[in-house]
Structure 1
Amino acid sequence: MITVFKRWLERYFADEEAVLVAVLLVASVIIIVTMGVVLAPMIAAVIIAFLMQGIVARLKTWGVSHIVAVSIAFLILAGSLVVMLIYLLPALWQQVLNLFAEAPRMLKDGQSLLLLLPQEYPALITEDQVKQLMGALRTDLAQAGQTAVSFSLAQLPIIVAALIYLVLVPILVFFFLKDGQQMLGWVASVLPRERPVMQKIWREMNQQIANYVRGKVIEIVIVGGVSSLTFSLLGLRYALLLGIAVGFSVLVPYIGAAIVTLPVAAIGFFQFGWGTEFLYIMIAYTIIQALDGNVLVPLLFSEAVKMHPVMIILSVLVFGGFWGFWGVFFAIPLATLCKAILNAWPTKGSPIAGNV
């Protein structure tokens, strides 16, 4: 057993750069897991800087100087935050409160429908089971509603943290955009000069991750905006809330759309019943999903991720379990990064290992 393990180490860690890459990966994971909360503003700033870098690069191709391009991108970011804080968040919060206020009526109507099931299928479900289910739903809903509408000193740290994000993150984004190349140059200066594995991984992932993040954010904004506008035009209540939910559903491939279909269909049914309005809403929602998958995604992501659907879902579950929302958001690029590392990893006798 020891001999087998020794041969495995010699095969995959005979190259010095392989050992360095492994150490950097382990150190990065430990830092994120242990200090993720502390470094959250910086991580968020790096992500936003990735998004804004495309605007800076496009402006520079038009002959705009670097500092002016960075300033314009920063003003766009600041303007977007102001619009979101003044218009979007208050409207969204009001719809959340209205939904919690109307939820008891929806539950009552739902219970009336579910009570028909014991009459049709007495061998599968009983009236007591339906009442127990609705009672549990009422309890959970009451707790969620109390949390949503009540403000106390317990929420003060969250408010303070949000204010810190609003001030600190834009400042960090500005400096990442302004001095990003110098920062990368400093990092490169402390690494070995000969690093073919790192360079291969960086070339493969830098552009792909940047394009994925920008494309995914654009997809969320377009799908969420179109869904909100469509639901509003069709007279559906909570159009903004449902539209944002549809927009964020694109983060989880394959199952996100299926999950968000439930609240869209439920609210549409409780508002319109089995009428033509409900049919129009579901048809419009289906068209939006079809256009997203068959038109928008191919336009935004010119290089499709060559991964099996099972691996994509597994990546979402694993990285989402580790890092929550950001783990879900970066599940595909992180999985692609793992794949790139495995492909570039030097082994004993490989061309890269032999050249070092």
Structure 2
Amino acid sequence: MGNGTERPAQGPRGDEWRLIYAAIVLAVAALLAWTVKPVLTPLLLYLLLLALLGPYAGRRGHSLVVVGATVLIGFWLLETLGGLLAPFILSLALAYILDPVVDVLERYRINRALAIGLLAIPMLGVLVLIGAVTIPALADQVASLSRALPDALDRLEQWFSGVRTWLAGLRVPFLPGYEPFRDFALFDPDRIAAFVQERQAAILEGGLGAVLGVGRGVGAALAVLGYVVLTPILVVYLLRDFDGIKRRAVELIPLDRRDRWLAFGAEYDRLLSRFLRGQVLAATIVGLLTWIGLWIAGFPYSGLVGAIAGVFNLVPYLGLVASILPVIVIALLSGSVLGSLVRAGIVFLIVQVIDGSVTGPRIVGGSVGLHPVWVMLALAVGSFFFGFVGLLLAVPAAVLIKLLLREALARYRGSEAFQGAGGGAAAGPD
């Protein structure tokens, strides 16, 4: 150790100059960013950040910054391109569900491409058969419902006029002269109908955009085309290369953290796959029970309502909400509105009790451990910020957050902050 190779220790003066130099560099960088801000998209800034952080790979805090920036750019991409990405995300979800079946066929020495074909052809045949049997019946019910809709609207208007007159004349006991609903008589349904009719094109366009998660006409058209055409093609390609995609993703994980990340990924895969399988089974049961219950109760168009309840129940708790409006419209078409609503309400109550106490907790919630409130919150937040894509990603994100919180809680319980400086429980008062 020679004296010529030793560097003088940095004192307070050196630290001050270093801070001043860093402040100047940041100010110049901010000024430069301000002058070229029209070309600084979030994606370009993300790539620039990764390039700047490259020399610091392996240092403390590097992974945290990269992961945080990746999550933020992912949110930006979903918010910006959500409608266009929906077919790709849906295809990835379907490939994720079907990949274990293809792997099982490969164990029987069946080529992967042939296994995908053996899986796709029967599924396509079943879908065609179901469509050939159910679509004509559902189409007849929808056509009959649309023909009877004008009479239902007339009945609804007559019923509403009676309710309006009754409310306008309602009096509050012990308060003579007080008429709380007097102004309700000024409510004119004809003006509302005219308003809706004048703006029906804009209303329909907005409704389509809300369903697809796209607010622009071109994006909506591309999303519909993607669902119909792109999704099956993408599923086949993803299934063919699914194992290779997983292998290349594993190779990107740092060696010193690979075992830990793979264990976390295996647990996440186990919980998510069990939830998806359970949700498909639960939605099928809800659809069948709704159809059979309404059919036994003599409610018209039971097949249509059951199909709506089953399909929409793939998104947890959405089946009941999506079925309410068709049930009300169908009840207005029947001879006895109140009787039809009561019968449908009893059926929905029974189905929801079965779903809430048997199919939901035992098939879905029990297998994953996600509380219904947590699932509903994830769905609400996902759909609010990202539309239809948010609904697709809500439950996977909820499962991921659950695992991250569980690991963070386990670390906290093993830390000195939880156990005390001495590693044991603190002594209580005498």
Q: TM-score range by the shorter chain?
A: 0.7 to 0.9
1:184 to 246, 266, 278: 246
Aligned match of 2:31: none
Q: Partners of 2:409 and 2:340 in 1: how far apart?
A: 60
1:124 to 178, 181, 185: 181
Q: Which residues of 2 match residues 296-307 of structure 1 at below 5 A?
A: 296-301=359-364, 302-307=366-371
1:262-298 C-alpha deviation (Å, 9 max, x unpaired):
5324423541415766544432332222222222223
Q: CA deviation at 1:36?
A: 3.5
Q: CA deviation at 1:185?
A: 0.5
Which segments of 5 or more consecutive residues in structure 2 lack a partner in the other structure? 1-58, 169-179, 206-216, 416-430
Q: Secondary structure at the match of 1:237?
A: coil
Aligned match of 2:394: 331
Paired-residue identity, %? 24
Q: Determine if the alignment matches structure 1 residue 317 to structure 2 residue 380.
A: yes
Cα gap change, 1:37 to 1:159, in 2 (>3 Å) = closer
TM-score where L is the length of structure 2: 0.62
Cα gap change, 1:136 to 1:240, in 2 (>3 Å) = farther
Total equivalences in the alignment:
332
Q: Partners of 2:148 and 2:388 in 1: how far apart?
A: 28
One-letter code aligned to 1:124? F
Are the counterparts in 1 of residues 151 and 333 from structure 2 also a CA contact under 8 Å? no
2:330 to 267, 286, 308: 267
Aligned match of 1:22: 68
Aligned match of 1:139: 197
1:217 to 280, 287, 305: 280
Q: Which moved more, 1:249-258 or 1:37-46?
A: 249-258
Cα gap change, 1:236 to 1:54, in 2 (>3 Å) = farther
Are the counterparts in 2 of residues 223 and 246 from structure 1 also a CA contact under 8 Å? yes
One-letter code aligned to 1:171? I
Cα gap change, 1:266 to 1:140, in 2 (>3 Å) = farther
Q: Partners of 1:328 and 1:32 in 2: how far apart?
A: 12
Q: Partners of 1:226 and 1:344 in 2: how far apart?
A: 39
Q: CA deviation at 1:28?
A: 2.9
Q: CA deviation at 1:139?
A: 3.0
Q: Partners of 1:142 and 1:254 in 2: how far apart?
A: 29
Q: CA deviation at 1:103?
A: 2.4
Are the counterparts in 2 of residues 114 and 130 from structure 1 also a CA contact under 8 Å? no
Are the counterparts in 2 of residues 115 and 130 from structure 1 also a CA contact under 8 Å? no
Q: Partners of 1:14 and 1:351 in 2: how far apart?
A: 21
TM-score where L is the length of structure 1: 0.73
User: What value does the CA root-mean-square deviation take over the aligned residues?
Assistant: 4.2
Q: Partners of 1:138 and 1:29 in 2: how far apart?
A: 35
Cα gap change, 1:279 to 1:318, in 2 (>3 Å) = closer
Q: Determine if the alignment matches structure 1 residue 41 to structure 2 residue 41.
A: no
Q: CA deviation at 1:184?
A: 0.7
Are the counterparts in 2 of residues 14 and 348 from structure 1 also a CA contact under 8 Å? no
* Bigger relative CO (Cα 8 Å, ≥ 6 apart): 1
Q: Partners of 1:24 and 1:278 in 2: how far apart?
A: 50
1:284 to 333, 347, 351: 347
One-letter code aligned to 2:323? V
Q: Partners of 2:204 and 2:295 in 1: how far apart?
A: 28
One-letter code aligned to 2:248? W
Q: Which has the larger radius of gyration?
A: 2
Q: Partners of 1:187 and 1:20 in 2: how far apart?
A: 16
Q: Partners of 2:408 and 2:90 in 1: how far apart?
A: 29
Q: CA deviation at 1:210?
A: 2.1
